[in-house]
Structure 1
């Protein structure tokens, strides 16, 4: 008999706490819906703040954790520019961290011209970079020629001789 009374009392306590949680959830939902219908954005924000402050610490722990996206600052961030020599050294390398700091083209002097086994040009330039031809075009390069390297579409690059209208597609290998 004692066991059944304690069992009934414990079941009633659980039932009452569940009903209280449903009532709390219902009142929270109705409060949020009333805030949602507010047309003035300042009043709507104040309403949401009031509903949020009404929650107790226990209710906040019971609520699911929601990860909010980071807020965006209204002030533009200041980008510190790298020295020009640093940008030239990273020109043509994959995974440059910030595309706003990329340069579109560079000029250099050819220091060495070689061919790989597939008869593609390998060009060394005076800023310690080596570029390899990737297309089938023909170009006559000599040591001492001034060349320009420029960005093309989809992360590729062109190499051309200064003063001439011919270019070839290249990739940086060193």
Structure 2
């Protein structure tokens, strides 16, 4: 009986040791991933990183500012990618404008950016010409025409 108990204890001990080793390695990988998440400066991206780790979706790698070709291309996209040194205002040439089904204006500029009116300010049909988009409060943006004192709240769609 004592031999049987000793043999059972040895088998259980070896089984636990075998099971414990991969868990320790997995735990170390998780600790490294947690350190990587903690190093992310953007609070929203850091939260997404932690959520992906908990869900078991694998390592999360945030988009870096190097993926954005130029500062003007990053304007209005701060909530999508991590950016640095973006300007407070950009100047654009209007390529086209049309009204969507909700009566809001959709602007397309010559650099390929598309912006959508989000407020209810009534503007006369915009003319071709030089426009600017400036950063406003609470991560919003205002569209204005050069030489006019009118502004319209917009958000970037593309």
Aligned mates of 1:90, 1:98 — CA distance in 2: 7
Q: Which runs of 5+ in 2 are unaligned?
A: 1-34, 40-64
State the 1:143 CA deviation: 4.7
Name the residue aligned to 2:144. Answer: 160
Larger Rg: 1
Asked whether 1:97 is paired with 2:78, we answer: no
Aligned mates of 2:115, 2:81 — CA distance in 1: 17
* Root mean square deviation of aligned Cα: 2.6
Maintained 8 Å contact 2:94/2:129: yes
State the 1:141 CA deviation: 4.3
Greater than 6 Å deviation, 4+ residue runs: none
Maintained 8 Å contact 1:112/1:143: no
Q: In the alignment, which of 133, 136, 141 is matched to residue 149 of structure 1? A: 133
Q: Deviations over 1:57-90 (max 9, x none)?
A: xxxxxxxxxx9x99xxxxxxxxxx98xx611111
Q: In the alignment, which of 106, 110, 116 is matched to residue 126 of structure 1? A: 110
SS in 2 for 1:154: helix
Q: What TM-score comes out, normalization by structure 2 length?
A: 0.53
Aligned mates of 1:110, 1:137 — CA distance in 2: 19
Aligned mates of 1:95, 1:142 — CA distance in 2: 28
SS in 1 for 2:148: coil
Deviates more, 1:86-95 or 1:122-131: 86-95
Name the residue aligned to 2:96. Answer: 112
Aligned residues: 95
Maintained 8 Å contact 2:91/2:133: yes
Maintained 8 Å contact 2:107/2:116: yes
Aligned mates of 1:88, 1:166 — CA distance in 2: 22
Q: Which runs of 5+ in 1 are unaligned?
A: 1-66, 71-80
Distance 1:152 1:88, change over 3 A: same
